[in-house]
């Protein structure tokens, strides 16, 4: 078709999809975000910013209707956007007929995704047409590109959860109108190792001795074998999370956490598998229990309701993963398995991201306790380990049970038994007001907090 002395051509570029790993291309698109066309070769403005081309399968293609006349102006425009080292040819063009920069999306299935799908977005993808001999050859590169040799460029894309993936395209040494996606690479998850202060914790009377020299019960942290770990694995079915018993993942019945609310502790392994436990017992069952002290891609606490995560935190003293990375890698791991819901982060002071610091003891609880101890009763106010363990024991059954293993609770036990005539004290006797009474009794009888140090 001619217009004003020029001829529109159907310029078709083939886009075969042939990466290893069992991936299939469900659908793809290319949306123009910028362009340069030799003057007079698109008088009808058939190519515009925002225009989208689509294809699918292993032998897709797209076409651009535009005239074919080379110019150095288009080549200079391309060079200003995409240096030669970021193209498949590893050098700059001298003359181009037209060039586009746009956003490419790839909807993939298979490979690391299994039967699930995910959409990957590659920004700043350059597609242009030049001239070589009697052929009109295509150029390809990108603003995130890096030439890797063999007429191949590596571009960086982002998954739906914003996780980085690498895509390798070849243009050169194949048909002049062929741009072949040859490889997809997912960088391994960043792993967080067990912190050095917990090494040896699974050996009797090793790690516990570093905690003030006091005997603990039991004298080691349990480490699960693979069969035991499998009982804590969380899987995705129909877009929801299920525990190993086939029940919807729900933390309503969980007892204790760093956050003092019903959550499960969790870890993610190097393959993206999620494991979660409703139990957490100091000196017995920790995040490190689940994978026997192995490094993790994410760790912390999850609150879930009927198979849906309502928030996560990175509260894990044993691993202390970076909050941003822990959230990203958990989200990516689950998305690959078919869980496509956002994972909210905690809001406010109820839960705090740890970073490289220890979990904060909750300010509101301590404020109330300090008021009772110092203002209302004008007696000494204990701090440190005594505060942490006792505050936990006052408000949860499991916390009280854990408290009974320590010297602190043994003292409270004696006082309650001797002064109040209580016999056969159990974990629940340290909850609520009973816990506070025991604490107050200690201070009144002994006159200081020295007993608790």
Higher pLDDT, 109 or 350: 109
Q: Flag whether 356 is in a domain.
A: no
pLDDT score recorded for residue 58: 93
Q: Flag whether 214 is in a domain.
A: yes
Same domain, 432 and 382: yes
Q: Flag whether 113 is in a domain.
A: yes
- pLDDT of 75 > 70? The answer is yes
Beta bridge partners of 152: 149, 170
Same domain, 300 and 435: no
Average pLDDT value for the chain: 79
pLDDT score recorded for residue 172: 84
Q: How many domains does the structure of the chain reveal? A: 3
Average pLDDT estimate for 67-93:
96
Read off the pLDDT band of 380 (50, 70, 90).
very low
* In the chain, % of residues over pLDDT 70: 71
Same domain, 311 and 261: yes
pLDDT score recorded for residue 288: 95
Alpha-carbon Rg for the chain, nearest whole angstrom, is 31
Of 74-83, 174-183, 369-378, 418-427, the range with the lowest mean pLDDT is 418-427
Q: Where are the beta strands (DSSP E) in 111-151?
A: 117-129, 138-142, 146-149
Same domain, 178 and 204: no
pLDDT score recorded for residue 109: 94
pLDDT score recorded for residue 258: 57
- pLDDT of 305 > 70? The answer is yes
The count of other CB atoms within 10 Å of the CB of residue 330 is 28
**Considering all CA atoms of the chain, what is the largest pairwise distance in Å, rounded to the nearest integer?**
107
Same domain, 108 and 135: yes
pLDDT score recorded for residue 362: 32
Q: Flag whether 343 is in a domain.
A: no
Same domain, 331 and 262: yes
Chain-centroid distance of CA 259 in Å reads 20
Q: Flag whether 174 is in a domain.
A: yes
| Integer Cα distance of 245 and 98 in angstroms | 59
Q: Flag whether 222 is in a domain.
A: yes
Please say which residue of 138, 163, 185 terminates a domain: 185
Please say which residue of 185, 206, 241 terminates a domain: 185
Asked if residues 300 and 312 have their Cβ atoms less than 8 Å apart, the reply is: yes
Same domain, 180 and 215: no
Same domain, 317 and 284: yes
Average pLDDT estimate for 74-90:
97
The parent domain of residue 442 ranges over: 363-452
Same domain, 47 and 72: yes
Please say which residue of 336, 355, 385 terminates a domain: 336
| Integer Cα distance of 381 and 138 in angstroms | 77
Same domain, 130 and 201: no
How far is the CA of 37 from the CAs of 94, 99, 252, in angstroms? 14, 6, 61
Q: Flag whether 352 is in a domain.
A: no
Higher pLDDT, 117 or 207: 117
Average pLDDT estimate for 420-442:
45
- pLDDT of 396 > 70? The answer is no
Of 36-40, 119-123, 214-218, 379-383, the range with the lowest mean pLDDT is 379-383
Higher pLDDT, 175 or 81: 81
Q: Which of 414, 409, 410, 416 is nearest to 391 (CA)?
A: 409
Higher pLDDT, 172 or 392: 172
pLDDT score recorded for residue 444: 42
Same domain, 390 and 298: no
pLDDT score recorded for residue 373: 44
| Integer Cα distance of 90 and 146 in angstroms | 9
pLDDT tens-digit series, residues 156-197: 999 999 999 999 999 988 788 999 999 999 999 999 999 998
Three-class DSSP category at 410: helix
pLDDT score recorded for residue 214: 52
Q: In this structure, what are the phi and psi dihedrals at residue 430, rounded to the nearest 5 degrees?
A: -105, 10
Read off the pLDDT band of 378 (50, 70, 90).
very low
Q: Which of 425, 416, 422 is nearest to 444 (CA)?
A: 416
Average pLDDT estimate for 227-236:
96
Q: Which of 338, 263, 342 is nearest to 302 (CA)?
A: 263
pLDDT tens-digit series, residues 267-295: 999 999 999 998 887 778 899 999 999 99
Same domain, 322 and 180: no
Higher pLDDT, 89 or 386: 89
- pLDDT of 410 > 50? The answer is no
Q: Flag whether 344 is in a domain.
A: no
């Amino acid at each position: 078709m001619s217009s004003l002395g020029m001829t529109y051509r159907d310029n078709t570029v083939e886009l075969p999809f042939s990466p290893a790993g069992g991936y299939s291309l469900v659908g793809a698109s290319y949306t123009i975000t910028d362009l340069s066309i030799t003057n007079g070769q698109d008088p009808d403005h058939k190519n515009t910013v925002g225009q989208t081309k689509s294809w699918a399968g292993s032998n897709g293609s797209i076409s651009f209707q535009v005239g074919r006349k080379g110019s150095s102006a288009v080549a200079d425009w391309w060079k200003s956007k995409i240096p030669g080292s970021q193209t498949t040819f590893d050098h700059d063009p001298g003359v181009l007929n037209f060039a586009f920069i746009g956003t490419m999306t790839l909807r993939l299935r298979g490979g690391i995704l299994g039967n699930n799908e995910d959409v990957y977005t590659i920004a700043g993808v350059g597609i242009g047409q030049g001239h070589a001999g009697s052929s009109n050859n295509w150029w390809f590169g990108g603003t995130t590109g890096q030439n890797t040799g063999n007429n191949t460029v590596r571009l960086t894309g982002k998954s739906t959860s914003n996780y980085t993936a690498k895509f390798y395209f070849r243009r050169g040494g194949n048909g002049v109108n062929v741009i072949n996606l040859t490889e997809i690479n997912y960088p391994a998850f960043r792993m967080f190792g067990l912190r050095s202060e917990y090494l040896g914790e699974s050996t009797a009377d090793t790690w516990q001795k570093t905690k003030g020299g006091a005997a603990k019960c039991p004298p080691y942290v349990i480490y699960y074998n693979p069969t035991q770990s499998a009982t804590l694995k969380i899987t995705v079915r129909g877009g929801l999370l299920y525990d190993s018993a086939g029940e919807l993942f729900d933390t309503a019945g969980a007892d204790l956490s760093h956050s003092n609310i019903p959550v499960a502790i969790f870890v993610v392994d190097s393959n993206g598998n999620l494991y979660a436990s409703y139990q957490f017992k100091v000196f017995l069952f920790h995040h490190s229990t689940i994978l026997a002290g192995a490094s993790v891609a994410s760790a912390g606490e999850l609150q879930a309701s009927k198979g849906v995560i309502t928030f996560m935190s990175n509260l894990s003293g044993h691993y202390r993963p970076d909050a941003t990375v822990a959230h990203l890698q958990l989200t990516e791991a689950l998305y690959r398995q078919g869980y496509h819901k956002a994972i909210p982060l905690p809001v406010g002071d109820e839960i705090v991201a740890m970073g490289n610091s220890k979990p904060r003891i909750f300010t509101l609880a301590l404020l109330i306790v300090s008021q009772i101890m110092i203002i209302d009763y004008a007696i000494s106010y204990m701090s440190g380990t005594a505060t942490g363990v006792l505050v936990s024991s006052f408000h949860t059954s499991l916390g009280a049970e854990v408290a009974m293993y320590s010297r602190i609770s043994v003292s409270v036990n004696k006082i309650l038994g001797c002064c109040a005539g209580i016999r056969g004290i159990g974990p629940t006797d340290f909850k609520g007001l009973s816990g506070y009474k025991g604490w107050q009794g200690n201070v009144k009888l002994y006159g200081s907090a020295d007993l608790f140090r």
